[in-house]
A and B are shown apart, each in its own frame.
Chain A
Amino acid sequence: MMWKMKRLLVFSLLIFLLFSFFLLKLNFAQEVMEEEQNKITQAEENAEKIVPSPKDIKESIGIYVFVVWMWIAIIVLIYILRLKIKEVDRLFYIRFFSAKKK
């Protein structure tokens, strides 16, 4: 029982030490003010910021279609590779190539 208590105490202490870094940051009132200020500056900044995105709906659909096809191709290729891996492993374990050499 004592041992369990000790373990709990050590764990709590470790977690407290880890999170004490973040506790230093807790200053709610200032945070809210900063957030408001940030929103204003963010809006000003966004006016001159280039946010990359597809030019039109055609390019946008093209990209989504590409992503879907890419993942389908990857899944199919992985399936084929798995079969190939099984086959080459089997040939290796039955010493197919070493027997052929002899």
Chain B
Amino acid sequence: MNLLGKKKRAQSWFDERFGISGIVKFLREKKIPQHKHSLWYYTGSAIMLFFVIQVITGFMLVFYYNPTLAEANKSVGRIMTEIPMGWIIRSIHSWSSSFMIAFVFIHLLSIWITKAYRKPRELTWMSGVFLLCVTLAFGFTGYLLPWDDLSLSATKVGTDIPRSIPIVGVWVTKLLRGGEDVTGDTLTRFFGFHVCILPVFIFILLAVHVYLIQKQGMSLPLAVESKKEKIQELPFWPNFVYRESVVWLILLGILFTVAIFLPPSLDKSADLMAPAPEGIRPEWYFLFLFQALKIFPAKILFINGDTFIVILILVEFLLFFFLPFLDNKPAEMKGKFITFLAYVTIVYAVVMTVWSLL
């Protein structure tokens, strides 16, 4: 039997067991609409690319990281100074998390503005909002792991925020910290969240999200759909995948270049007894919340300022989560107002972030 015959036999052997031909047929028949907003379709796969990089570099780092009070900072130091190319791996992990979160924000905002959450895609939107929360939780838990002064203080501030929630607040703070204050237990707990609990959540949510996207197909932006013209479509495989590959290559190039030339440094090990250092600042994606908390007055009427803003954030989050049900007729005046709110949110987040950095 020649080589081609052997290949065909191997293919049919696998196909009989896994049903690969069905998947290939589905990918060939899946169509991607082409219009002036098609660029946003690439943001989803960019997130997946950075997620895969996060998983691979995370596996590499976990072999050398030690999540104990005495060893956490030292082990990160060892990764950066003793392990061959360790500093690059850590830098790629750190930068790719920032890139991933940036793309999650862009992806969600593009869906908000193009109204892609409309019926029947309500659950796709909701699973996406959950994915945003899990991604931010990854960033928050990962920030403490180097165990330096800045990460300790930022975690103290961050875990203290839920305390302002009425009734359950104190309990949530204790659950996050593993006690009354941020200690070695918090570090172990955060490591557990970062490498065990959150990955389980993200894999389940990703599976649901991707399944829903395949089930419902790609949405058309409201502006394009209302024109009622025939939209040109391209097959997912190979036409769209080739286009995505170009985007992936460019993003990979940028990520590697930034990671090599701007690696994150490591401060000395955190001292639990030391006072908080000046200029405590969370990661860039929490800065707009951090600044809002900073500038808010201590008391508003009879309510504590912190409690007020935390409740306000929770209400805003709930409105954001249930957006497909609030904006069920997006072409009407209410829909236009919600689009305007999306732009206001972008301006607010950018202004607050820049203000916090000044």
A contacts, CB < 8 Å to B: 18, 21-22, 25, 41, 45, 48-53, 63, 67, 70-71, 74, 77-78, 81-82, 84-85, 88-89, 92
Question: Which residue of chain A has its CB nearest to the CB of B263?
Answer: A52
Query: Knowing A25-B358, A49-B267, A92-B235 touch, does A67 contact B257 (C-beta < 8 A)?
Result: yes
Question: Whole-angstrom distance from the CB of B106 to the nearest CB of chain A?
Answer: 22
Chain B contacts with A in 75-96, Cβ cutoff 8 A:
77, 80-81, 87-88, 90-91
For the complex, is B246 an interface residue (Cβ under 8 Å from A)?
yes
A-B pairs, 5 with minimum CB distance: A52-B87, A48-B268, A52-B263, A50-B266, A74-B253
B238 touching A52 by the CB < 8 A rule? no
Given contacts A41-B278, A78-B249, A85-B242, 13 further A-B contacts (CB under 8 A): A25-B358, A49-B266, A49-B267, A50-B266, A53-B263, A71-B253, A77-B245, A77-B249, A84-B242, A85-B239, A85-B246, A88-B239, A88-B242
Most chain A CB inside 10 Å of its own CB: which residue of B243, B257, B351:
B243
B313 interface contact, C-beta 8 A: no
> Is the Cβ of B80 less than 8 Å from the Cβ of A50?
yes
Instruction: Tell me whether B268 and A22 are in contact (CB under 8 A).
Output: no
Contact partner of B267 among A22, A45, A88, CB < 8 A? A45
- CB B210 to nearest CB in A, in angstroms, measures 24
The answer to whether A50 and B242 have CB atoms under 8 Å apart is: no
Determine the chain B residues whose CB is within 8 A of the CB of A78 once the complex forms.
Answer: 246, 249-250
A-B contact count (CB 8 A): 70
Classify the secondary structure of B's interface with A.
Answer: helix
CB distance from A54 to the nearest CB of B (A): 9
Bound complex: CA of A88 vs CA of B239, how far in Å?
6
Q: Is the CB of B239 within 8 A of A89?
A: yes
The count of chain B contact residues (Cβ–Cβ below 8 Å) is 32
- What are 16 inter-chain pairs, A to B, with CB distance below 8 A? A18-B351, A22-B355, A25-B358, A41-B278, A49-B265, A50-B81, A52-B266, A63-B88, A63-B260, A70-B256, A74-B249, A78-B249, A78-B250, A81-B242, A81-B245, A85-B243
**Complex: A18 Cα to B350 Cα, angstroms:** 11
Write out the residue numbers on chain A whose beta carbons fall within 8 Å of the beta carbon of B260. Answer: 63, 67
Complex CA distance for A74 and B88, rounded to whole angstroms: 19
A residues within 8 A CB of B278? 41
A69 to chain B, nearest CB (A): 11
User: A28 to chain B: closest CB distance in Å?
Assistant: 14
Chain B residues with CB below 8 A from A82, complex form = 246
Q: How far is the CA of A92 from the CA of B29 in the complex (A)?
A: 12
**With A18-B351, A70-B253, A74-B249: A48-B242 Cβ-Cβ less than 8 Å:** no
